[in-house]
Amino acid sequence: MRLLRRLLIVLHRYLGIPLSFLFVLWFVSGIAMIYVGGMPALSPQARLEHLAPIDFRAIRLTAAEAAGRAGGDGRGRATLLTVLDRPAYRFSAGPFGASTVFADTGETLDAVDQETTRTIAARFLDVPPAAVAFERAVEDVDQWTLVLRRELPLYKFDVDDGRGTEVYVSPSKAEVTLVTTARSRGLAWIATIPHWFYITSLRVNQPLWYWTVVWTSAAGCVLAALGIVLGVVQFRKSRPFNLSASIPYRGWMRWHYLFGAVFGVFALTWVFSGLLSMEPFDWTNAEGLDVPRDTFTGGPVELDHFPAVDAAAWAALLGGRVVKELELERIQDRPYYVARVAAAPAALDPKRERLHQPYDIGGRGESEMLLVAADTLAVQREPFSTESLVARLHAAVPDTAIVDHELLADYDSYYYSRERQAPLPVLRVRFDDPERTWVYVDPRMSQIVAVVHRWSRLERWLYNGLHSLDFGFWYDKRPLWDVGMIALCLGALASSGIGLWLGLKRLRRDLAGLVRPIRVRPRGQTGV
């Protein structure tokens, strides 16, 4: 038993020297992550705000005609927006990839030059062009475009606005794709980058980055578990009970023991749930019920079902409101426009929530959006009926029984949004398949916004529950949640910081013992 205890102490000590540094890094950056969120990104709301209004009077081509100019077959999603002060159709895919066709002349947008992109950046930020200076063409990802790899190449500009603003503009789309400031970049270096190991040289090598995070997290689990075990086996019972006499340590080691005994469990659950965010186990990748993608559309968008734009009819429909973007969609076998109108100013880089989750929650709870039938230009003011949504799901998977369905007016434990960004109400349909799949449908848009099976529900608790203490009884109660999380992080940080300092002292002493000075005897003197 004594030998085993000694072995545990040695393993914890020398494993803790390098890993305690990572624990300190994780806890400090974790506190910052509460308020920073993920990497800098251009929010959909900010992008929409900076789009120019669509001039319906200048539109001469239908969507089908524009698709023909791009070499398409008239099937597929399209968006009408303003590009370079002209109305244009943007097609997400085609025989030549994504393309943009101007709706006034039918010309296809070619990559714009550097001077044009500089003008685009200046307009986006509402600054004089002289305040925007070209820095370089981004051919390979840099620190801020790690998730924009498909958008490359980009032109990067520095903006003389006193905020250290940098703007990335896509020459192929003629639009801004990212805006960062000295503040957002600095906060990312304090929070997201160290917490996620998002260093460019590491992150561009996906396998290396993945296994670095997995193995360091796994080693962290071992270190935290060893500390908890030692906290138990090193405790000495005293009669009468005396806490001071029961702890066999003094000085800083005593504080390391106390902080570890209280906060070690949280350190373990945090590093374990961080490991789960990488989804290293096959069961986390299990598939739920396979619901066909066209369940609520009826098939791909057929652009010839969208008539020529009637500017006067649109003006009457909008009643003075300004449309920034018009998406062409197929919903329940009918053509619809999703009209996004001018909204209140939005932050360029708002904090994002639920930075990792075991399943996607799509959709946007947009208040400034109109759903318009393309054939009649009638606004769809009521959500699609529950009966129609359930009937389509049943027809899509006829061999799987529906256990029940419920229209939720508020979020449940698996479909939720702290900032209330996910659309409500939502229809929850539960199936009797082997994976006990739940499908969430947005009745306003008649589209699936989440599919959750039993394994992803388990991972939701193991990751979001343990990592963010994401439990309904207090997760939405701020600042109470903030106080609790910061207090726990500080306690775990104290244990790790003291452990790191003690470990470095011990390592220095051990190394000094290995290099003993050789005493040189004076000539003519012999030892006895």
Question: 310, 280, 265: which is closest to 492 by C-alpha?
Answer: 265
Flag the least confident range among 55-69, 73-87, 162-176, 241-255: 241-255
Gap between the Cα atoms of 446 and 440, Å rounded: 10
Q: Is pLDDT of 517 > 60? A: no
- Give the mean pLDDT of 456-474: 88
pLDDT digits (tens, 9 = 90+) for 183-219: 999 999 999 999 999 999 999 999 999 999 999 999 9
pLDDT digits (tens, 9 = 90+) for 341-356: 976 665 665 565 655 6
- Give the mean pLDDT of 170-185: 95
Close Cβ partners of 167 (under 8 Å, ≥ 6 residues apart): 121, 124, 125, 132, 156, 157, 159, 176, 178, 179
- Under the banding of pLDDT at 50, 70 and 90, the label for residue 527 is very low
Task: Determine the pLDDT at residue 356.
Answer: 64
Neighbours of 220 (CB within 10 A): 24
Close Cβ partners of 287 (under 8 Å, ≥ 6 residues apart): 435, 453
CA 435 to chain centre: 26
Gap between the Cα atoms of 90 and 304, Å rounded: 16
Q: Look at the block and give the residue holding tokens 């970049």.
A: 185
Flag the least confident range among 72-86, 168-182, 328-342: 72-86
**In this prediction, what percent of the chain has a pLDDT beyond 70?**
92
Task: Determine the pLDDT at residue 167.
Answer: 97
Gap between the Cα atoms of 499 and 24, Å rounded: 10
- Under the banding of pLDDT at 50, 70 and 90, the label for residue 249 is confident
- CB-count exposure of residue 69 (10 Å: 0-12, 13-18, 19+): middle
Q: Is pLDDT of 409 > 90? A: yes
Compute CA distances 140 → 112, 152, 199, 437, whole Å.
Answer: 19, 7, 14, 40
Task: Determine the pLDDT at residue 268.
Answer: 94
pLDDT digits (tens, 9 = 90+) for 225-237: 999 998 888 877 7
Q: How high does pLDDT run on average in the chain?
A: 88
Gap between the Cα atoms of 244 and 251, Å rounded: 12
Gap between the Cα atoms of 7 and 169, Å rounded: 57
Fill in the DSSP letter of residue 205.
Answer: S
Rg of the chain taking only CA atoms, in angstroms: 29
Neighbours of 96 (CB within 10 A): 11
Close Cβ partners of 252 (under 8 Å, ≥ 6 residues apart): 498, 501, 502
Flag the least confident range among 6-15, 44-53, 235-244: 235-244
